[in-house]
A and B are shown apart, each in its own frame.
Chain A
């Protein structure tokens, strides 16, 4: 019983140019009550935050607490 790879459109968007995850920032990941954000890590180290799990309460601490204004919370498509 293999699992399907169904795609979903995620509500939280991070502007790579503004994100300072490479400086060790994990503010948005830390404050998410549902723990759905992660830092993408490449060979060069941490790069940018992104939404890994589509499990969003659109509550907004990630956007409000981001020190550089890199995070935008949109409403999940199903209810917007």
Chain B
């Protein structure tokens, strides 16, 4: 295993879905059900059984819009406010309207959502306007249940192939080039439509532990989706709106305050006082988290030690079996007990992830990108704050629309020279006798991301980042060396990470204002609605480097009152107090 073989196979399908985590399987199921004759392929660089962000499950939904608890209008309003207004509401609203039917469908798959003693959904109040949190008591079975459905529907699954570039022709999508992660053999897939669901760019910043894979996101989500979309010419929106999350220090997993919140847990400073809103993650909240850490009131903690034994036991039961079950091992190793100790928290390395922010490949309410026949869903598409349920729901939209798209088209012609060029690019590190291993290229890129791109953002630092990235890219392109096909996969990931680092710097420099709290805090600029109340779209320019343009925010379908627009800012203590 892992030796480097020579070979290329070409296959055809109607719809190619790249990424078998959350959105991908739902896209595949919906497409197949809508058109059972369609040839649908679901491809993953890992194994669909356990791939993606929810590899080990999910402990709950924090954006469920369930009739009687929240309305699509309330939800759309809340998401708009949390994202400082830069939201195309149609996609958010459609999600809010249709996600309940997805919950019911998932329930039928055997994915359980918490019910009360009468068998009704047990929605917990956390957010202010509506109530969106729905725990998942057996959330550890999500992937298993999804996989079962894929097998039942007889979806064609290809595991351990990594897509590296999209193919386009006739101004639309034509397919993808893929490499086997265990043999380095190539697979060219011609497809009439392609759905990208490759997850977040989670290996962008370097965790403070220094361990490359100790990331907040599943470390296999290394940003190939963003890189492929970029090279294919698709638009990427608001990449400067980074993902930064509160998490358990060193362990680097989510603290899941939204699980503990309804039971009375909260985030506290060294004095044991709550200092940030626990209701909703926003850039503003992260800014306050950052200020507390930097301002002498840290460390910052998840506080559960004021809760009763019964409650703590319940929280442990949920948090230690689902999503990141090694969390229990971690606390035991440190001798930390929720009953007596507060849990030290920190802020995560930066990443791209629409699940928790508003950046990603630009899509509309049908999950269509700016390239015909190319779709994106889940953490890599720019529907803001869509989390796991958004991935399922938008994945469904992508699958359904793709079935309509393929009706009237045949395979697009593409330039076969592109395949040859990609083979040369991919295999270059295998053709050298020695050189720099991918892990060192990756480490250096990511260390510079931390040094220069981690907010607060400073122009001069970001320009330095660009120079350093250029140097590392040169080393990567001329000297990277791999010994087997597994290392080749890491080399390809390093290349995607480099693309994402470039995009992160370029997008951050383009938007000359501050917005989204810490996510895009540019110290030299204030918020500037007059010039920057718009999406920023990054594309690949003529010179092969990032180019930018502005895109208007769609007219709202749910109006936001003037006094609500700054709801998050308005929650701050009066300025004199905050400045202390």
Contacts and interface: CB of A to CB of B under 8 A. Distances in A.
Q: Please tell me whether chains A and B touch each other in their complex, using a CB distance cut-off of 8 A.
A: yes
Interface of A: 1-3, 30-35, 38, 52-53, 55-61, 64-65, 73-76, 78-80
Interface residues of B, number: 42
Contacts, number: 94
Interface of B: 1-2, 46-47, 49-52, 55-56, 140, 159-160, 181-182, 207, 209-215, 218-220, 250-252, 324-326, 329-330, 333-334, 434-435, 437, 486, 489-490
Given A61-B55, A78-B214, A34 B220 contact: yes
A35 B324 contact: no
A64 to B, nearest CB: 7
B1 to A, nearest CB: 6
Which of B2, B47, B50, B215 has the most CB atoms of chain A within a 10 A radius of its CB? B50
Given A33-B52, A65-B50, A74 B329 contact: yes
Given A57-B220, A59-B55, A60-B56, A75 B329 contact: yes
A78 B211 contact: yes
27 contacts: A30-B159, A31-B49, A31-B50, A32-B50, A33-B52, A33-B219, A34-B213, A34-B219, A35-B160, A35-B486, A55-B213, A57-B218, A57-B219, A57-B220, A58-B326, A59-B55, A59-B56, A59-B324, A61-B50, A65-B50, A75-B251, A75-B326, A75-B330, A76-B209, A76-B211, A78-B211, A79-B211
B333 to A, nearest CB: 5
B55 A33 contact: yes
A78 B47 CA distance: 27
B318 to A, nearest CB: 16
B435 A59 contact: no
Nearest to A4: B437
B50 to A, nearest CB: 4
A42 to B, nearest CB: 15
Contacts of A34: 46, 213, 219-220
A59 to B, nearest CB: 5
B434 A3 contact: yes
Contacts of B218: 33, 57, 59
Given A59-B218, A73-B329, A35 B46 contact: yes
B46 A79 contact: no
Contacts of B1: 38
A61 B210 CA distance: 23
Identify the 4 closest CB pairs spanning chains A and B, nearest first.
A79-B209, A31-B50, A61-B50, A78-B211
Given A32-B46, A33-B46, A33-B51, 18 more contacts: A1-B435, A33-B55, A33-B218, A35-B182, A38-B2, A55-B212, A57-B214, A57-B220, A58-B326, A59-B56, A59-B218, A61-B56, A64-B325, A75-B329, A75-B330, A76-B213, A79-B251, A80-B334
A21 to B, nearest CB: 13
A74 B490 CA distance: 23
Given A64-B325, A75-B333, A79-B252, A31 B47 contact: yes
